[in-house]
């Protein structure tokens, strides 16, 4: 066996599929093939074209993003960068269809998929990787390979087996709400982002449309996790009548990495996607980055298969070269823009300028730090000063206040009420969030 890939969602499936297509003997291990990964499912069209995702799985093409601040102020932004293009939209997908499509693609390329849990691994002096796995039913086995890819998501068992301490995680929860046609009409091409202490003290709340439902979610740091349900309720309260006639169909949650590993290579093991903390701080966007990392890991392994393990550190360097500056910038932006309602209101105000919108969507759609002219920067700086003056001297409207603290016990009661109501609850994922 050449390579074992742990985790067969997007990151693992891209790595496994690319390696198999290059002629390698690949086994992908996935501990639960039926699970739906809790996720907003918003991806740029670039992810579709670059990784050969079948376009039939796109449920909505969102052309407008509305950002709603802590005072209720709204800024609607058309999804387009500096130059208008045909594919100026955000693709909305469900993870069960995306993950299945990518797994099938990897299998078509020749990768073998096994439903099994990675337990631990060791590398011997000859550079062989010995991987302990457990199959459904309890049988255990040791597999031997030349390299290991850890694409097993947040709280990665592969990273732990490499000796890495766990990275910081946020808790993200989401409800899928079925919407009748008249309410869905508004969300047909629109996504919403809510900012404020009532929806999250650390992040933002979202409403992302799918074909027959919307995904309503929010995330927060672990110290606020016992209020998650209060924040989710906060998003729904803010949306109000727009969610009229809705019916909950699923309640789900999962940890979201809040820090990056600078070190991604351990001997002949490479970490990919959430396992390496590759999630953009401001948006929580990780799908594209996990797929991109899967491809980069496969290219590095293919290009240096017989080389010493040190050659594999090129993967780390190429990742850092391609996305390091973007992640550094987003980290700073996140620290600044989500801290306190005043900053958030200012952030929303800043979104109300063409220059900021173009820059945001250039970066989102094309995954590069957009290059803009000094005049563009100048206009953004001027708008920033104007927005700051407006918000710190004479706010347009009073800011909303935070919701009452909800205890873990109350949150549990809400979950039980949901179950009693017939709502499917992904309990394992909720517990892990």
Stretch binding ligand FAD (CB under 6 A), from 56-64, 124-132, 277-285, 359-367 = 277-285
| Residue with Cβ nearer ligand FAD (183 or 279) | 279
> How near is the Cβ of 401 to ligand FAD at its closest, in Å?
25
Q: Does 171 bind ligand FAD (CB under 6 A)?
A: no
Considering only CA atoms, which of 254, 261, 285, 211 is closest in space to residue 47?
285
| Residue with Cβ nearer ligand FAD (51 or 186) | 51
Q: Does 41 bind ligand FAD (CB under 6 A)?
A: yes
Q: Does 146 bind ligand FAD (CB under 6 A)?
A: no
Q: Does 9 bind ligand FAD (CB under 6 A)?
A: yes
For residues 149 and 13, the answer to whether their CB atoms sit within 8 Å is no
Q: Does 11 bind ligand FAD (CB under 6 A)?
A: yes
Q: What is the 3-state secondary structure (H, E, C) of the chain?
A: CCEEEECCCHHHHHHHHHHHHCCCCEEEEECCCCCCCCCCCEECHHHHHHCCCCHHHCCEEECEEEEECCCCCEEEEECCCCCCCCCCCEEECCHHHHHHHHHHHHHHCCCEEEEEEEEEEEECCCCCEEEEEEECCCCEEEEEECEEEECCCCCCHHHHHCCCCCCCEEEEEEEEEECCHHHHHHHCCEEEEEEECCCEEEEEEEEEECCCEEEEEEEECHHHHHHHHHHHHHHHHHHHHHHCCCEEEEEEEEEEECCCCCCCEECCEEECHHHHCCCCCCCCCCHHHHHHHHHHHHHHHHHCCCCCHHHHHHHHHHHHHHHHHHHHHHHHHHHHHCCCHHHHHHHHHHHCCHHHHHHHHHHHHHCCCCCCCHHHHHHHHHHHHHHHHHHHHCCCCCCCCCCCCCCHHHHHHHHHHHHHCCCEECHHHHHHC
Q: Does 197 bind ligand FAD (CB under 6 A)?
A: no
Burial of 417 (0-12, 13-18, 19+ CB in 10 A): exposed
For residues 172 and 283, the answer to whether their CB atoms sit within 8 Å is no
- Beta-bridged to residue 149, according to DSSP, are 5, 270
Q: Does 279 bind ligand FAD (CB under 6 A)?
A: yes
- Contacting residue, 42, 48, 129, 162, with ligand FAD by CB under 6 A: 42
- Contacting residue, 26, 43, 297, 400, with ligand FAD by CB under 6 A: 43
- Contacting residue, 24, 31, 60, 295, with ligand FAD by CB under 6 A: 31
- Contacting residue, 3, 12, 192, 358, with ligand FAD by CB under 6 A: 12
Q: Does 16 bind ligand FAD (CB under 6 A)?
A: no
Stretch binding ligand FAD (CB under 6 A), from 40-48, 161-169, 310-318, 415-423 = 40-48
- Contacting residue, 45, 286, 292, 298, with ligand FAD by CB under 6 A: 286
Considering only CA atoms, which of 90, 91, 93, 59 is closest in space to residue 77?
90
Q: Does 30 bind ligand FAD (CB under 6 A)?
A: yes
Q: Does 7 bind ligand FAD (CB under 6 A)?
A: yes
Q: Does 243 bind ligand FAD (CB under 6 A)?
A: no
- Contacting residue, 5, 19, 29, 207, with ligand FAD by CB under 6 A: 29
Q: Could you give the strand order of the β-sheet that contains 112-123, starting from the edge strand earlier in sequence?
A: 140-145, 129-135, 112-123, 26-30, 3-6, 147-150, 269-271, 265-266
Residue nearest to ligand FAD (CB): 286
Q: Does 254 bind ligand FAD (CB under 6 A)?
A: yes
For residues 193 and 204, the answer to whether their CB atoms sit within 8 Å is yes
| Residue with Cβ nearer ligand FAD (29 or 312) | 29
Stretch binding ligand FAD (CB under 6 A), from 30-38, 316-324, 377-385, 409-417 = 30-38
Q: Does 161 bind ligand FAD (CB under 6 A)?
A: no
- Applying the rule CB under 6 A, the residues between 92 and 121 that interact with ligand FAD are 117-118
Q: Does 150 bind ligand FAD (CB under 6 A)?
A: no
> How near is the Cβ of 121 to ligand FAD at its closest, in Å?
11
- Contacting residue, 101, 157, 179, 207, with ligand FAD by CB under 6 A: 157
Q: Does 216 bind ligand FAD (CB under 6 A)?
A: no
> How near is the Cβ of 176 to ligand FAD at its closest, in Å?
11
| Residue with Cβ nearer ligand FAD (117 or 237) | 117
> How near is the Cβ of 54 to ligand FAD at its closest, in Å?
18
> How near is the Cβ of 174 to ligand FAD at its closest, in Å?
5
Q: Which residues bind ligand FAD (CB under 6 A)?
A: 6-7, 9-12, 29-32, 35, 37-43, 117-118, 151-153, 157, 172, 174, 217, 254, 256, 273-275, 279, 284-288, 290
């Amino acid at each position: 066996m050449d390579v074992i890939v742990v985790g067969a969602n997007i990151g693992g499936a891209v790595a496994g599929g690319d390696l198999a297509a290059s002629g390698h003997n690949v086994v992908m291990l996935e501990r639960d093939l039926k699970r739906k990964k809790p996720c907003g499912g918003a991806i740029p069209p670039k992810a579709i074209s670059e990784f050969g995702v079948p376009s039939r799985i796109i449920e909505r093409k969102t052309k407008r993003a509305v950002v709603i601040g802590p005072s209720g102020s709204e800024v609607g932004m058309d999804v387009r960068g500096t130059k208008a293009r045909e594919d100026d939209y955000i693709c909305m997908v469900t993870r069960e269809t995306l993950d299945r499509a990518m797994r099938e693609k990897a299998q078509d390329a020749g990768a073998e998929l096994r439903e099994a849990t990675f337990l631990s691994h060791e590398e011997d002096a000859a550079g062989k990787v010995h991987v302990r796995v457990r199959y459904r039913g309890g049988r255990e086995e040791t597999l031997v390979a030349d390299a290991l890819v850890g694409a097993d998501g947040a709280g990665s068992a592969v990273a732990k087996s490499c000796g890495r301490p766990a990275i910081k995680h946020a808790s993200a929860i989401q409800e899928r709400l079925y919407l009748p046609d008249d309410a869905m009409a508004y969300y047909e091409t629109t996504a919403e982002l809510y900012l404020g202490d009532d929806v999250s003290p650390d992040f933002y709340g979202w409403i992302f449309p799918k074909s027959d439902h919307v995904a309503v979610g929010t995330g927060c740091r672990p110290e606020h996790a016992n209020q998650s349900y209060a924040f989710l309720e906060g998003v729904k309260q803010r949306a109000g009548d727009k969610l009229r006639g809705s019916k909950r169909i699923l309640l789900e949650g999962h940890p979201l990495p809040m820090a990056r590993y600078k070190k991604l290579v351990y001997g002949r093991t490479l970490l990919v996607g959430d396992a390496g903390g590759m999630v953009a701080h401001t948006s929580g966007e990780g799908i594209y980055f996990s797929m991109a990392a899967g491809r980069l890991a496969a290219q590095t392994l293919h290009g240096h298969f017989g080389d010493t393990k040190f050659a594999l550190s090129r993967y780390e360097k190429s990742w850092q070269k391609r996305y390091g500056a973007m992640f550094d910038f987003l980290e700073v932006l996140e620290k600044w823009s989500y801290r306190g309602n005043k900053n958030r209101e200012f952030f929303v105000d800043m979104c109300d300028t063409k220059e900021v919108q173009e820059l945001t969507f250039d970066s989102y759609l094309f995954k590069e730090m957009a290059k803009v002219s000094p005049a563009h920067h100048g206009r953004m700086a001027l708008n920033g000063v104007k927005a700051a003056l407006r918000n710190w001297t004479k706010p347009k409207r009073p800011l909303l206040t935070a919701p009452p603290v909800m205890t873990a016990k109350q949150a549990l009661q809400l979950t039980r009420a949901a179950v009693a109501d017939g709502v499917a609850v992904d309990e394992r994922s909720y517990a892990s969030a």
